[in-house]
Structure 1
Amino acid sequence: MTAADAPPIVFVHGTRLSAGQWSPQLAALQADFHVAAIDLPGHGARSAQPWSLNAATEVIASAVDSLGHGPALVVGHSLGGYASLEFARRCPKQLRGLVLAGASASTCGPWATPYRWAVGLVPRIPADRLTRWNDRLLRRLYAPEVVDATIRTGYAFHTLPAAWGEVLGRFDANAMRHVAAPVLILNGEKDTVFRSGETDFLRAHPQARVELIPRARHLANFDDPDAFTDAIRRFALHLPAHKLSAPEQGAPGRPEAQGGREHSD
């Protein structure tokens, strides 16, 4: 695949985080790919917007369109992975490939119990206390260049009940049957909860494969940014070439970087 054939890449962050989660990946990939990292509704720069999967799908679709280079590789982590599955179902023509990171666990039936517990607990804890806990944890575990953008852009604890309330009961391996593009299931080796349905998700899609980041946990792109980015790069470069239609051949060029908490390069 030549550089001209390389797919644009849209990154979709996980629970309570923002586009800042992807700063290591954006920095590493922007020289070779058209890349964007979005804020989901209720998160980051969209903190005041109400959450819904419909709105999340629209945000992802808008980001794909804004890059102006045809269907994109969409990389979704955790909550963002389930939102990306919904995008894949609703907008198949905008999808060239899908990466599910920490999002290959069923949210249905008994598997949803831990999520329901968290959804009920978070609103009972003051947001400033949750912020201090999260900041302290991230600073203890990771280098500043990996997590500074995440800490700076803050957390969306207020959106967590609505977001997971809609996701719970909605996604299992059957969701993979609606994805009309190759899929990489990219998990941290030690992320036992969110890779619990890994085998079922893999079997449900004829063009899916699994790759594990050794010794990594749920935030695999923080635990080993280089290995995570390398997996994205390799998957992107091996996606089938996209044949441009006549309207796409006249599509606008690469946009300038966006400010605020949503990043595009």
Structure 2
Amino acid sequence: MTEADAASASYAPNPSYATTAPPIVFVHGTRLNAGQWSPQLAALRDDFAVAAVDLPGHGARSEQPWSLAAATEVIASEVDALDRGPALVVGHSLGGYAALEFARSHPDRLRGLVLAGASASTCGAWATPYRWAAGLVPRLPADRLARWNDRMLRRMYPPEVVADTIRSGYAFHTLPDAWGEVIGRFDASAMRHVAAPVLILNGEKDTVFRSGEAEFARAHPEARIELIPGARHLANFDEPDAFTYAVSRFADRLPDAPAAVT
């Protein structure tokens, strides 16, 4: 297996399903990896061509330096690898902001966008939680943070939901650089660069990261908000079936991709 293979998980759809179904690329959140999306990949792979990527500095790409530009190229490469035209990109937290940057830099590769836990401004006073996290993490030993995360995930979620995430490890070393670049860069105005329909999909109890959802939705003519009842920031872990169904329903309603010019 090559490094590129290890850095993503992808599945071709069942050939009996419509060829108009959009491919779906999942982009993980802060410190996590492509394993975050194992419940969604398993549930969707019979209906869609699906993939989950490791961002630079995370998972199988843990040795690669972080940058938003590199993150967008990782997403673009996975869209191209699925070879089914523009994709629905689903980004959680850090991955949501990377997906917004991808939407700006690669509009031709985007068929739809799901922002999960990524509809809060990272500018001005709203960036305080991000600055706090980016400043605290380097002061704590990575092995201690990893043990704490393992215990937390095992206590809160069933093994089939979190096993792949735990197995692939955490990217605490990348967090300061990643959030250092995101802070001050994104607010609702970023939605004006998204040339595709948008679903803002948040956990009902994710009060910090959904704080700007109304402003984000108002800034885009084809954006809507959907909340997952009882879910927190890791909504796809808290309520994997509800999260998957919301993504699937949004994918089914996307307009067909424009025909390729020959």
Q: Same fold (TM over 0.5)?
A: yes
Q: Which residue of 2 aligns with 1:72?
A: 87
Query: Which of 237, 245, 254 is the aligned partner of 1:239?
Result: 254
**Structure 2 Cα separation of the partners of residues 58 and 4 of structure 1:** 25
Q: Which residue of 2 aligns with 1:251?
A: none
The answer as to 2:205 corresponding to 1:190 is: yes
Asked whether the equivalents of residues 8 and 71 of structure 1 are also in contact (C-alpha less than 8 Å), the reply is yes
The answer as to 2:155 corresponding to 1:135 is: no
Normalising by structure 1, report the TM-score.
Answer: 0.92
SS at structure 2 position matched to 1:17: coil
Asked whether the equivalents of residues 89 and 178 of structure 1 are also in contact (C-alpha less than 8 Å), the reply is yes
The answer as to 2:182 corresponding to 1:167 is: yes
Aligned-residue RMSD, C-alpha: 0.7
Q: Which residue of 2 aligns with 1:38?
A: 53
**Structure 2 Cα separation of the partners of residues 142 and 114 of structure 1:** 24
Asked whether the equivalents of residues 70 and 244 of structure 1 are also in contact (C-alpha less than 8 Å), the reply is no
Shift of 1:246: 4.2
Deviations 1:48-83 (A, max 9, x none): 000000000100000000000000000000000000
**Structure 1 Cα separation of the partners of residues 18 and 47 of structure 2:** 7
SS at structure 2 position matched to 1:243: coil
Residues 13-162 of structure 1 mapped to structure 2, 5 A cutoff: 13-162=28-177
Aligned structure 1 segments of 4 or more residues deviating by more than 6 angstroms: none
**Structure 2 Cα separation of the partners of residues 3 and 104 of structure 1:** 32
**Structure 2 Cα separation of the partners of residues 36 and 82 of structure 1:** 18
**Structure 2 Cα separation of the partners of residues 228 and 98 of structure 1:** 14
Shift of 1:113: 1.0
Residue-pair matches, total: 246
Deviations 1:82-104 (A, max 9, x none): 00000000000000000000000
**Structure 1 Cα separation of the partners of residues 152 and 146 of structure 2:** 10
Q: Which has the higher contact order (CA 8 A, sep 6+)?
A: 1
Shift of 1:5: 0.6
The answer as to 2:218 corresponding to 1:218 is: no
Percent sequence identity over aligned pairs: 79
Deviations 1:217-246 (A, max 9, x none): 000000000000000000000000113214
Query: Which of 212, 226, 245 is the aligned partner of 1:230?
Result: 245
